[in-house]
Amino acid sequence: MILLIPLAMILATASCYVALYKDSEQSFRRSLITASILVFFFIAVSTELLGLLNAVNRFGIALSWLLFDAALAATWIRIKKAHRVTHRSLGQRWLSGIRRFYQSVGPLTVFMLGVLSAITLCVAVVAIPNNQDSLSYHLSRLGYWAQQGNVAHYASHIERSISFSPFSEYVHLHTFLLSGSVHYFQLLQWGCLAGILLLVSMIVRLFSTSAAALRIALCFAATLPIVVLESMTTQNDLVVAFFLVATAFFVFDYLQNKQQTSLYLIALCCAAGMFTKGTFLFYALPFGGYLIIRMIGQPAMRKHLLGFVAAGVVLTLALNTPFWYRTYVLFGSPVGTISNGNQNDLQRPADYVSSVSKHVFLHLGFVSPGNRYNDFLHTQLKNLHAAMGIPLDRPGLGMPFKMNKLNFNEDFAHNFFGIWLILAGIPLLWCARLQRAANWYAALTLLSFLTFCFFISYQTYGSRLHIAFFLLAAPVVGIAYAAVLPAFLSRLLPVVLWLAALPFALLSASHPLLSTRWFFEKIFPTVNNALHLNMRIDAANLNLKQESVLHATPGRLFWGDHWAGLQGLFERANALNPQKIGFAFTEASFDFAYQFLLRKPGREFAHVMVGNPSRVLENPVFQPDLIISEKNMGNGFDYNGQSYRLDWQSDDRWLYVSVN
């Protein structure tokens, strides 16, 4: 059944190609991006509709895809007949376009991107998803949705699972119910990165015909450490970045080519982007404002303005309102309350300068002998704040600031080379003689970052929230450096970026293709001591020494060094053969990991004794056979008229069983 998804992509791409783009530049890439947006929108809408019918199950999802594929097939047959296109001629056109793209990029760049993509694809398919946020809330939702047959909110200790936008998880829900496997989850982010690279190449083409610009832009985007690491996870930052970069492309595509199709694709991207992550709004706002101003100023485009705005508002509200309403009912806010601490409390201009500077300095840190480089930068940042008369860590402006060194975790890795290339590239824009449209694109990209910094405070994991900015900046970096660098350096730069990215692809802290245990036990200590890097590689650095995903067990991937102490919990729980299991968790508990290791046909899970507003959704007659708790509840307690006693305890986990 999982093949229904690629079948839909092929049919949609073929139909878009023939009906919309066969005579356009970059026709195959445009068709593939448009088809992806349409398929994504179908997933979002169909999931909500199936939820209303309580039909979120394998049969309901499969039937919806069969009907969708049948409609796409019928559409393709009509279009093919109307345009007198054969499968052979279509295939030849696509192959011709691929060959032209290969020639413009060059074999070396194709090789580098191919190696990087192959490594990350292997990890994405082989590894069990084990990102901390994914285990807590991204993937934990799926089991409860499938269990209840809809996507309504449920009682949960983990507020993020019922208040954070769910689009990425809707895609995972479809792949899981169609295949019964978790090994397709991480392909979403990997596929979105592939789509982003196509979009980057298309944006470069809008402003430049330089092959060097294309090579640099693609390698810059594909080798960002946080991007490489996230492409192997089930987070959603690359998914929202796909919709953001697509929005930016279609804005400038419409302004240059006046194709109305681009306007309505922007509306679809806005609806889906907001349904993926709220940060979409901050990055997209400057591009949307620029487009509307340009449309108002030109009579030929003004006639499309009302329809475009109406489509954007209607689609965004239609797609997002059901989820927002469900969240509002529980929390009194359509976006919940758990992210309130991430909002900036700006009281004067200096607070905004503080926010921007900390967001930038997040990426500037690196390893150095005696940590002198980081100490120097940290001192300059403190001096800046002292000159403005505010503390570096003023309450209301985010988490306490910390300079990064070198991190291989998909939550904390930063983009050292990327930020320096952007900062050094800003003055290059003045002498690169770019097209006017390219300068506007560069200005809007910078403004999108400044808008984000206005609303969102500094966070130690903020690097992944900056992914959209770095990917939006990739075409500008490519065009600017290609315009000023000699030919040799323009070819060398992508190679340097590729070499710097390979360790992140191979040695991810959470799911490495090569064993990080070997590296950090045999190789790194010598380097660390010889250069006085002062990097901690002991147990305090969570799960730094990992086995290869080719050999590690799911339990080891989930809990790392803590797995040895937890095996007894799962062995005991499964030995009791419960039909109903209750969870008493914290906000950071690995809900999905428990479900994965305890899942059996007919077994039911539910959160119990919930302390947040979702407690009103607890089933008052649910009496679990056992309760797994990450909170110490003593030797026993009562729940829903049933008594429970402590049966097992280890490593801050407690197992309580019902007393008959």
Q: Quick count: other Cβ atoms within 10 Å of Cβ 657?
A: 20
Q: Which of 533, 464, 552 is nearest to 134 (CA)?
A: 464
- Residue 519 covered by a domain: no
Q: Whole-angstrom Cα distance, residue 598 to residue 582?
A: 12
Q: Which of 419, 435, 416 is nearest to 477 (CA)?
A: 419
Same domain for 139 and 37?
Answer: no
Q: Whole-angstrom Cα distance, residue 438 to residue 412?
A: 31
- Scanning 106-186, the segments in alpha helix (DSSP H) are 107-126, 132-133, 140-148, 167-179
Same domain for 6 and 92?
Answer: yes
Same domain for 150 and 64?
Answer: no
Which run of H or E residues covers position 290? Answer: helix 279-297
Task: Spell out the SS3 assignment of 190-221.
Answer: HHHHHHHHHHHHHHHHHHCCCHHHHHHHHHHH
Q: Strand 642-650 and strand 636-639: pairing?
A: antiparallel
Same domain for 17 and 67?
Answer: yes
Same domain for 93 and 140?
Answer: no
Q: Whole-angstrom Cα distance, residue 354 to residue 336?
A: 27
Q: Which residues of the chain have pLDDT under 50?
A: 542
- Residue 64 covered by a domain: yes
pLDDT (tens digit per residue) in 201-255: 999 999 999 999 999 999 999 999 999 999 999 999 999 999 999 999 999 999 9
Q: Whole-angstrom Cα distance, residue 105 to residue 219?
A: 10
Same domain for 91 and 140?
Answer: no
Burial 560-589 (b: 16+ CB within 10 A, else e): bebbeebeebbeebeeeebebbbbbbeeeb
The residues near 312 (Cβ < 8 Å, ≥ 6 apart) are 266, 267, 270, 271
* CA max distance for the chain: 80
pLDDT (tens digit per residue) in 86-144: 888 888 888 888 888 898 899 999 999 999 999 999 999 999 999 999 999 999 999 99
Same domain for 651 and 592?
Answer: yes
- Residue 429 covered by a domain: no
- Residue 618 covered by a domain: yes
Same domain for 169 and 68?
Answer: no
Same domain for 144 and 94?
Answer: no
Q: What is the pLDDT of residue 201?
A: 97
Distances in Å between the Cα of 37 and the Cα atoms of 42, 245, 508, 549 are 9, 12, 30, 32
Which amino acid, residue 187?
L
Paired with 653 in beta bridges are: 650
pLDDT (tens digit per residue) in 438-482: 999 999 999 999 999 999 999 988 899 999 999 999 999 999 999
- Residue 192 covered by a domain: no
Q: What is the DSSP string of 377-417?
A: HHHHHHHHHHHHTS-TT-TTSBSPP-------STTT---HH
Q: Are 122 and 549 in contact (CB under 8 A)?
A: no
Q: Which of 495, 477, 485 is nearest to 208 (CA)?
A: 477
- Residue 473 covered by a domain: no
Q: What is the pLDDT of residue 531?
A: 64
Distances in Å between the Cα of 214 and the Cα atoms of 118, 121, 243, 475 are 21, 23, 21, 8
How many domains, the chain?
2
Q: What is the pLDDT of residue 598?
A: 95
Q: Which of 414, 412, 476, 471 is nearest to 443 (CA)?
A: 476
Same domain for 568 and 656?
Answer: yes
Same domain for 559 and 598?
Answer: yes
Q: What is the pLDDT of residue 532?
A: 66
Same domain for 43 and 93?
Answer: yes
Q: Whole-angstrom Cα distance, residue 285 to residue 293?
A: 12
Collapse the DSSP code of 477 into the 3-class scheme (helix H, G, I; strand E, B; otherwise coil) and give the result: helix
Q: What is the pLDDT of residue 546?
A: 77
- Residue 593 covered by a domain: yes
Which residues constitute the domain of residue 7?
1-99
- Residue 43 covered by a domain: yes
Tokens standing for 195? 């789509």
Q: Are 646 and 634 in contact (CB under 8 A)?
A: yes
Among the candidates 57, 83, 99, a domain finishes at 99
